[in-house]
Amino acid sequence: MIQYEKTICPYCSCGCGIYLVIEDGKIIGQEPQTDHPINEGGNCPKGRNAYQFLYAEDRLKTPMIRKSDELVECSWDEAFDYIVKKLKQAGPNEFGMLASGKNTNEDAYVIQKFTRLVMGTNNVEYCGRLCHSSTAAGLGPTVGSGVMPISQRDLENVDCIFLVGINLKETFPLMYMRALRAKERGAKVIVMDPRKSITARELSDVHLQINSGTDVAVINAMMKIILEEGLENKDFIESRTTGIDALREHLAGLNLKDLVKICGVPLNTLTQAAKIFAKAKNGSVLFNQGLNQHITGTDGIKALATLALISGHYGRPGTGLSPTRGQINGEGTGDMGCLNVFYPGFQKVGTPAEPHKKFAEHWGVDSLPENPGLPYTKMIQQTKYMWIIGTNPMMAAPDTDNVKKDLESKELLIVQDIFPTETAELADVVLPASTWVEREGIHAYVDRRVQKINKLIEAPGDAKPDWWIVTQIAERMGFKDKFDFSSPREIFEEIRRVVPPYKGITYERLEETLGGIQWPCPTEDHPGTSTFFTEKFNTPDGLGHLQVVNYIPPAELPDKDYPYILSTGRTIFHYHTGTMSRRTPKLDAEVSGALLQVNPKDATLHDITNGTKVTLTTRRGSIQVKTRITDDVPEGTVFLPFHFSESSANKITNPALDPACGMPEYKVCAVKMEVSK
């Protein structure tokens, strides 16, 4: 019997609806969900090929333990006994847990609860540290919240869209659809990106093609022009912000000619963009890793939020700064507290609110850790015992040769995943997880949209849900009464009790509400919140705090030995470290390996043509990759997708960190390029 079952695409955080076609317990096809309010019958290439990875031949199906330097299959009991014996030797500061943006909220909640309650540490992180930690650090002091303040559906009704460091068509195609509709209705689109991406070419009215890493200089220039031209929103500034005098003084001391020289954008282009943005009635800003992944990512976001504030672009549908989180539950895993400085609900460690005391009371224990834990990269370096769930730092973290050394030195490395990833290959214990439609749970998508995914098929072999695996180990560590969950529904009921923004959301409501419910949702009769900051910001005084930010250059710039800038990013056909998309035949057939984008003039200097194999070398190491000649990249810059282990970009990227948030500088490092011998 053939069944058509509704679910949500497992790739990016837009949250598009699809139907899966199931026969005899196996998925045999899929179709877009025409009535879903996010995708309205459309899907991107990944969304049209969402399920094939589930049936890849190398799915993990049985626990494994390393014996005589080989991973051999074992029973769950043997794996659990080994893990528990080891973990009982770990001190709180010696243990670290990494979660994933692919975990459900229920998984993530149990993961952070285990880390804090059983292991006694705030050393819990997820991949959000490597993509949006600068968002929280930049927007927290500015407007008081680092989440998308709008509904993605409202994008099509604004009259200016500013895309900063985001190639929208390739990374969030269904949001691109909204932006395209807005443009068709007369909206102006500004794109800030060093590359002439397909988004810049097809959508922009103004392309700010900046020198890599000079975002702050551009934004300061735009603000200076707006204030000098008297285009700021004076009423909004007076009634809803603070800090304008300090900002005026700072910008008055800057020279536009100097800023133009730094960023490489002509003054008339900067002026055109500034005027379009300031004069718009409702302006929307979308940003992503091109802005975030720098040692000055936090500064860039503070400056960008300040630009939006002085222009009055906050508090109405579609307006404000919107971070575009990449993974299916990139928002929800953070909501649940898989961050070293936040308990669930973004209750910050070490603040007068004392969330450690609140959660100690919730969970019925005397105490919980009150000091910040280690961030992602420091955790890899400094802990002795690590449990990594659903994430792949051997592809995702910078300078992976050193990551490998750190992981190999652990007293215990547990990797819990659906495939034998590059990280799993180093593990002492590998645990097989079920995923996506093989288990039940909820996710919070890019615009805080909470949707439920039902279990539709059985997981292969002995694979189990992440929450179940964690609770089993907690029980064996002596905490059965604190982790006595028999289903995700029971976990979610605890979440509703202790995470206020989720209080009014129930499984029943989600099953009845097409397109989900946007948190905060304080009561069961509340419709959810589509727009933030309508009356006040989430800062202590309710005002938007204008920020004074100085331009600081990237940590590593080209020189005579390493004359090019290397930047990294994504392609439309693949997803993050390739764990899922590269095991999807149709997607891998479209782009089966990395291609380095090289400007034609640089190619001529090195006698390079399309397909030439070159060696890229930085101060961290070397990789080999084939080339694609294109003027999408400016002279002096090369661009490499990071999905491909054969030419792993993060083997050579710079591990320098943003001091405010620990974000690595993925987008700029100095590299030399030579034809491979």
Same domain, 152 and 97: no
Same domain, 419 and 478: yes
Shortest CA distance to 241 belongs to which of 310, 319, 324, 148?
310
Contact 345, 498 (CB under 8 A): yes
For residues 448-475, average pLDDT: 98
- Position 414 scores a pLDDT of 98
Contact 646, 588 (CB under 8 A): no
In three-state form (DSSP H/G/I as H, E/B as E, the rest C), the secondary structure along 199-254 is HHHHHCCEEECCCCCCHHHHHHHHHHHHHHCCCCCHHHHHHHEECHHHHHHHHHCC
Same domain, 166 and 293: yes
Same domain, 101 and 245: no
Contact 650, 399 (CB under 8 A): yes
pLDDT 10s digits, 67-115: 999 999 999 999 999 999 999 999 999 999 999 999 999 999 999 999 9
Q: Is residue 93 part of a domain?
A: yes
pLDDT 10s digits, 503-548: 999 999 999 999 999 999 999 999 999 999 999 999 999 999 999 9
For residues 412-416, average pLDDT: 98
Same domain, 248 and 138: yes
Contact 202, 232 (CB under 8 A): no
- Kindly report the CATH number assigned to the domain that includes residue 216: 3.40.228.10
Chain-centroid distance of CA 33 in Å reads: 25
Same domain, 373 and 308: no
Measured CA to CA in angstroms, residue 30 lies from 2, 57, 438, 514 at distances of: 12, 20, 16, 18
What's the whole-model pTM score? Answer: 0.96
Same domain, 403 and 310: no
State the Cα–Cα distance between residues 561 and 670, nearest whole angstrom: 9
CA dihedral 107, 113, 115, 118 (to 10 degrees): -120
Highest mean pLDDT: which range of 367-376, 573-582, 642-651: 367-376
The kind and range of the H/E element at 109 are helix 105-113
Same domain, 439 and 569: no
Final residue before a domain boundary, out of 309, 324, 339: 324
Contact 422, 413 (CB under 8 A): no
Place of tokens 């988004």: 199
For residues 30-46, average pLDDT: 93
Q: Is residue 506 part of a domain?
A: yes
DSSP string, 5-45: EEEE-SSSTT--EEEEEEETTEEEEEEE-TT-TTTTT---T
State the Cα–Cα distance between residues 200 and 633, nearest whole angstrom: 12
Contacts for 490 with CB less than 8 Å, ≥ 6 apart: none
Contact 308, 314 (CB under 8 A): yes
State the Cα–Cα distance between residues 217 and 547, nearest whole angstrom: 14
Q: Is residue 255 part of a domain?
A: yes
Chain-centroid distance of CA 351 in Å reads: 25
State the Cα–Cα distance between residues 334 and 283, nearest whole angstrom: 27
Is the pLDDT at 592 greater than 90? The verdict is: no
- Which phi and psi angles does 356 have, rounded to 5°? -60, -30
For residues 330-353, average pLDDT: 94
Is the pLDDT at 576 greater than 90? The verdict is: no
Is the pLDDT at 578 greater than 90? The verdict is: no
Question: What percent of the chain has pLDDT above 90?
Answer: 94
Q: If 0-12 CB within 10 Å is exposed, 13-18 middle and 19+ buried, where does residue 607 land?
A: exposed
- Position 475 scores a pLDDT of 98
State the Cα–Cα distance between residues 201 and 203, nearest whole angstrom: 6
Same domain, 146 and 170: yes
pLDDT 10s digits, 214-268: 999 999 999 999 999 999 999 999 999 999 999 999 999 999 999 999 999 999 9
Tell me the pLDDT band of 325, cut-offs 50, 70 and 90.
confident
- Position 131 scores a pLDDT of 85
- Position 677 scores a pLDDT of 82
Say whether 167 sits in a helix, a strand or coil: coil
State both tokens at 55.
């049936």
429-432 and 64-67 strand pairing: antiparallel
Q: Is residue 544 part of a domain?
A: no
Measured CA to CA in angstroms, residue 448 lies from 68, 103, 150, 438 at distances of: 47, 16, 9, 23
Sequence-separated contacts (24+) of 176-183 with Cβ below 8 Å: 176/203, 177/42, 178/152, 178/153, 179/155, 179/203, 179/286, 181/156, 182/155, 182/156, 182/157, 182/158
For residues 608-635, average pLDDT: 97
Q: At what angle do helices 267-279 and 215-228 cross, to 10 degrees?
A: 70
Contact 353, 347 (CB under 8 A): yes
Is the pLDDT at 326 greater than 90? The verdict is: no
- Position 443 scores a pLDDT of 98
Q: Is residue 209 part of a domain?
A: yes
- Which phi and psi angles does 405 have, rounded to 5°? -60, -45
What size, in residues, is the chain?
Answer: 677
Same domain, 478 and 601: no
State both tokens at 420.
């034998």
For residues 621-630, average pLDDT: 97
State both tokens at 673.
């390029």
- Kindly report the CATH number assigned to the domain that includes residue 102: 3.40.50.740
Task: Give residue 373's domain range.
Answer: 64-120+349-518
Same domain, 277 and 237: yes
- Kindly report the CATH number assigned to the domain that includes residue 11: 2.20.25.90
- Which phi and psi angles does 334 have, rounded to 5°? -70, -40
Helix extents (H) in 409-560: 466-474, 488-498, 507-512
CA dihedral 466, 98, 584, 633 (to 10 degrees): 160
Contact 231, 223 (CB under 8 A): no
Same domain, 153 and 283: yes
State the Cα–Cα distance between residues 443 and 560, nearest whole angstrom: 48
Q: Is residue 406 part of a domain?
A: yes
For residues 591-611, average pLDDT: 95
Q: At what angle do helices 256-263 and 215-228 cross, to 10 degrees?
A: 150
pLDDT 10s digits, 365-395: 999 999 999 999 999 999 999 999 999 999 9
State the Cα–Cα distance between residues 304 and 547, nearest whole angstrom: 9
Domain total of the chain: 4
State the Cα–Cα distance between residues 207 and 400, nearest whole angstrom: 34
Q: Is residue 26 part of a domain?
A: yes
Tell me the pLDDT band of 567, cut-offs 50, 70 and 90.
very high
- Kindly report the CATH number assigned to the domain that includes residue 638: 2.40.40.20
160-164 and 283-287 strand pairing: parallel
Is the pLDDT at 130 greater than 90? The verdict is: no
Q: Is residue 533 part of a domain?
A: no
State both tokens at 543.
């005002």
Is the pLDDT at 563 greater than 90? The verdict is: yes
Tell me the pLDDT band of 66, cut-offs 50, 70 and 90.
very high
Q: What does DSSP assign to residue 464?
A: B
CA dihedral 411, 467, 325, 355 (to 10 degrees): -80
Final residue before a domain boundary, out of 324, 358, 389: 324
Is the pLDDT at 163 greater than 90? The verdict is: yes
